[in-house]
Amino acid sequence: MALSRLLRRARDRGQACVAVPRSGALPATLRCCRVADGYQLELHLPEDVLVDQQALREMFALTPSEAGVAAGLCDGLAPADLAARLGVQVNTVQAHIKRALAKTGCRRQVELVALLLRSAARSRSGHADASATRPQIHCAAPPIAPAAPGAPGDGA
């Protein structure tokens, strides 16, 4: 049902996206694009996005500890979780965050994460070329019949 609605939207608009809930994890996202002979589906998993700590060190002159903490924030870990994982006090993690903020010119933790996930340090599954590793499905598909007005899933 949801897939046919996604394909219908892609047919009508050229592309469509949907979040797919997962138990115990952040939602996956699925993008469907209309192509000449069918549809292309791309699956995006949040945990596939990595931040290269060496690149962070080179770009922003972060210490190994600062880069590790910054990468952990990009993985969605809270300072307390990072402290437990690293075996240090939360104050130590917060100090690393403050120094990383100063070195990157960010004022807030969310700005730091946004910057790093949009920087050259970002990769998918450890690969520099994200497009080479993104799962894609290309399928020739018959046209999807338009939904009747008021029918379930017609988007109205």
Q: Which domains does the chain possess?
A: 2-47+130-139 (no CATH), 53-120 (1.10.10.10)
Query: What is the model's pLDDT at position 36?
Result: 86
Query: d(Cα 151, Cα 4) in Å, to the nearest integer?
Result: 13
Q: How far from the centroid of its chain's Cα atoms is residue 63's Cα? A: 25
> What does each C-alpha distance from 53 to 88, 90, 132 come to in angstroms?
19, 20, 21
- The residues, ordered by sequence, that sit 6+ positions from 79 with a Cβ below 8 Å of its Cβ are 90, 93, 94, 97
Q: How far from the centroid of its chain's Cα atoms is residue 126's Cα? A: 13
Query: What is the model's pLDDT at position 132?
Result: 44
The full DSSP string for 52-72 is -HHHHHHHH---HHHHHHHHH
Residue whose C-alpha is closest to residue 43's, from 123, 125, 109, 134: 134
Model pTM score: 0.66
Mean pLDDT, consecutive 10-residue stretches, the chain (156 aa), reads 80 90 89 88 86 95 96 93 95 98 97 95 60 50 54 49
